[in-house]
Structure 1
Amino acid sequence: MERHWKISDTEFEEQFSNNTFKPLWFSHEAHLRLAWIYVTKYGKEIAFDKYSKQLKTFADKYNAEGKYNATVTFASIQIMSHYIENSDAYDFQDFINEFSQLKTNFKEIISKYYSDDIFTSEEAKQHLLQPDLKPFHE
């Protein structure tokens, strides 16, 4: 089990909002959990705003220059929102068990929307790029 499970969703959000979350705990699954917390609590639009601002702040605090990616952040919220809408889960643990492909095949899921590798693209890191293969579900 990953380290981020040691704290509740409320503590997770609070620590991330206050920029006190432990960087070694911030795995891919923790990214997904934070997106899940924000989308389920605030809705897609507010979630994206909070998620992107706080990820930038987190990256800046830990000198992870070049780690923040505007397009991946946007895509993550869009994809998570779609899966949440199609889920019966009441918590993130049930949600990620229901949609384990989010944890294991996230790049493959994003590649359904983007023809380029947005994970390494400098343009995608700096600017929010819309999908060029198919639009996100609205």
Structure 2
Amino acid sequence: MTHNDFAAAFEALTLPPSEFRHAGHVRLAWIYLTRMSLPDAMTRYASSLRAFAGHVGKPGLFHETITYAFLMVINERIADGPDAESWEDFQARNPDVMAGVTAALGRYYSDERLGSDRARAGFVMPDRLAG
């Protein structure tokens, strides 16, 4: 499925949930971030995720801090990579991002902070130094 088809199917709520596991989340973020500014991507991604979660009957799955923090990490990784990097090359260059939340955000957030109700409901700043 092309990137355009993937994003369109997600936004139209026709993408099967089985096609939207962790790699699908990262792919959609990468598509948005390679096509629009970070603020625009954050707005569209969060809105689309909320709609998708509601569509599959799991509105409580949306986690604001993870969503925005992941987008910021992916945006930084895109900026650090070569111009016009392919999706395949991005994945290969960023195995921590592809491995999941703990691998990508664990250096910034403790499990306790990310697991809090406050972090789910609204963005919270990291409690660890990235160093």
Given the two structures, how large is their TM-score scaled by the length of structure 2? 0.89
Structure 2 letter corresponding to 1:131: P
CA distance in 2, matches of 1:8, 1:16: 12
Structure 1 letter corresponding to 2:28: L
Structure 1 letter corresponding to 2:121: Q
Q: Are 2:8 and 1:14 aligned?
A: yes
- Aligned with 1:102 (options 97, 106, 117): 97
Alignment match, 1:40: 34
- Report the RMSD for the aligned CA atoms in angstroms: 1.7
The residue matched to 2:126 in structure 1 has which SS?
coil
CA distance in 1, matches of 2:42, 2:10: 14
Alignment match, 2:107: 112
Alignment match, 2:120: 125
CA distance in 2, matches of 1:111, 1:82: 16
Q: Which runs of 5+ in 2 are unaligned?
A: none
Q: Which runs of 5+ in 1 are unaligned?
A: 1-6
For the Cα contact (< 8 Å) 1:70–1:124, is it kept in 2? yes
Superimposed CA distance per residue, residues 84-106 of structure 1 (whole angstroms, 9 cap, x where no aligned partner): 01112622111101112211254
**Per the alignment, do residues 58 and 105 of structure 1 end up closer, same or farther by CA in structure 2, a change over 3 Å counting?**
closer
Alignment match, 1:70: 64
CA distance in 1, matches of 2:101, 2:81: 17
**Per the alignment, do residues 62 and 105 of structure 1 end up closer, same or farther by CA in structure 2, a change over 3 Å counting?**
closer
Aligned length: 129
For the Cα contact (< 8 Å) 2:50–2:59, is it kept in 1? no
For the Cα contact (< 8 Å) 1:72–1:118, is it kept in 2? no
Alignment match, 1:4: none
For the Cα contact (< 8 Å) 2:108–2:127, is it kept in 1? yes
**Per the alignment, do residues 46 and 134 of structure 1 end up closer, same or farther by CA in structure 2, a change over 3 Å counting?**
farther
Deviation at 1:68, TM superposition (A): 0.5
